[in-house]
Amino acid sequence: MLTATPPIEYIHFPFHENETIGFGPEAEEVRKNLFEAAIHMAHPISRQSKMERFSILSDTWENDSKYSSSANDLLRNPSYLEIISMGKDALPFIFEDLRKYPRHWFVALRIITGFDPVPYDKKGNVAEMTRIWLIWAKQNGYIS
């Protein structure tokens, strides 16, 4: 799991300890991207279990979207879309996550399953949508 680090004033390039490459928020963004690239290089998708891949992607999605209240921003996130691309392999992990945290997995669930069990009058009620999807997951053998 990636953890946030406090902002720093300057960043040293990892291969040249005495060379400063930037100051301020942009430098922090570069540092963050270098760190995330190093993590992804250390764990290529081909060697990751499905659970590890889902965990990294969902953590990245959560981290990228934690300051956004826009559903469109949440659902356009590359990590969210990559989880959708996992197809039915992602469903057990999504349902387990949904049990713990009522997050906006509903579009992914509808795309992956090709079904939406939530009645129109319950749309927008995250707690109720979560409850209905978890019932559906149990009835369809994704959770016990």
Give me the half-sphere count of Cα atoms (radius 13 Å) on the Cβ side of residue 86.
26
Residue 5 CB burial class (10 angstroms; 0-12, 13-18, ≥19): exposed
Banded model confidence at residue 35, pLDDT cuts 50, 70, 90: low
The pTM for the full model equals: 0.65
pLDDT tens for 92-102 read: 999 999 999 88
Tens of pLDDT, residue by residue over 100-136, are 988 889 999 999 999 999 999 999 899 999 999 999 9
pLDDT (tens digit, 9 = 90+) per residue, 63-90? 888 777 676 777 788 999 999 999 999 9
**Domain residue spans in the chain?**
10-42, 49-139
CA distances from residue 75 to 25, 54, 65, 80, 104 in whole angstroms, order as listed = 25, 16, 9, 7, 8
CA-CA-CA-CA torsion sign (99, 104, 106, 107) = negative
CB 83 within 8 A of CB 105: no
Widest Cα–Cα separation across the chain: 60
- The C-alpha angle with vertex 100 and arms to 99 and 102, in degrees rounded to 5, equals 75
How many Cβ atoms are within 10 Å of 115's Cβ, its own excluded?
Answer: 10
User: What's the rounded Cα separation, in Å, for the pair 130 and 115?
Assistant: 14
- Which tokens is 41 given? 């290089």
